[in-house]
């Protein structure tokens, strides 16, 4: 076995949310052209599939990078409970006015999770992966 291996662990969380793709900087016509049906005035919904991956050394006593239960709890309390069954643009201010693309959601979720990992020594956030639909997938690795 490799010495001091670094292992990634992932938790998955599904949530339902509505949103509207609409860039404030663009005109109504430009938004309609750019986003098509996703610019629908009253929004539309997705069943989002969120994967949060952290990495770190395997604790020789517990055999774990971190307790998956703790990572599930972070995602549930700080993301799922905030966004599930909400309109991402109308009900929440987590995006700070930015367009509610999966890219921007990944950036916001990154900051949310990273802020909770400080108490887990040696554990760092590795990836936020969002499946907005079966065919549309966004990943952010902190760059
Ligand atoms: Ni959409």
Q: What is the pLDDT of residues 56-108, one digit of tens each?
A: 999 999 999 999 999 999 999 999 999 999 999 999 999 999 999 999 999 99
CA distance 28 to 30: 6
Distance CA 124, CA 117 (A): 7
Q: Which pLDDT tens digit goes with each residue over 13-59?
A: 999 999 999 999 999 999 999 999 999 999 999 999 999 999 999 99
CA 136 – ligand 1 centroid, Å:
10
- Classify strands 6-19 and 124-131 as parallel, antiparallel or unpaired: unpaired
79 CA to centre of ligand 1 in angstroms:
18
- State the distance from the centre of ligand 1 to the C-alpha of 88, rounded, in angstroms: 10
Residues with catalytic annotation? 38, 85, 132
Give the number of other CB atoms < 10 A from CB of residue 1. 4
User: What is the CA(82)–ligand 1 centre distance, in A?
Assistant: 18
Q: Which domains does the chain have, with CATH numbers?
A: 6-140 (3.30.479.10)
Of 109, 81, 83, 82, nearest to 18 by C-alpha is: 83
Residue 56's pLDDT is 98
């Amino acid at each position: 076995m490799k010495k001091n291996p670094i292992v990634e662990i992932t938790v998955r969380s599904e949530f339902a949310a509505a949103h509207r793709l609409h860039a404030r900087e663009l005109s109504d016509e430009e938004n309609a052209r750019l986003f098509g049906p996703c610019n629908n005035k009253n929004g539309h919904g997705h069943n989002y599939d969120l994967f949060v991956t952290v990495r770190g050394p395997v604790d020789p006593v517990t055999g774990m990078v971190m307790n998956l239960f703790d990572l599930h709890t972070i995602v549930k309390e700080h993301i799922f409970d905030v966004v599930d069954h909400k309109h991402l643009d109308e009900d929440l201010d987590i995006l700070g006015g930015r367009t509610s693309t999966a890219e921007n959601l990944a950036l916001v979720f990154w900051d949310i999770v990273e802020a909770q990992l400080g108490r887990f020594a040696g554990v760092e956030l590795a990836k936020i992966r969002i499946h907005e639909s079966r065919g549309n997938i966004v990943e952010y690795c902190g760059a």
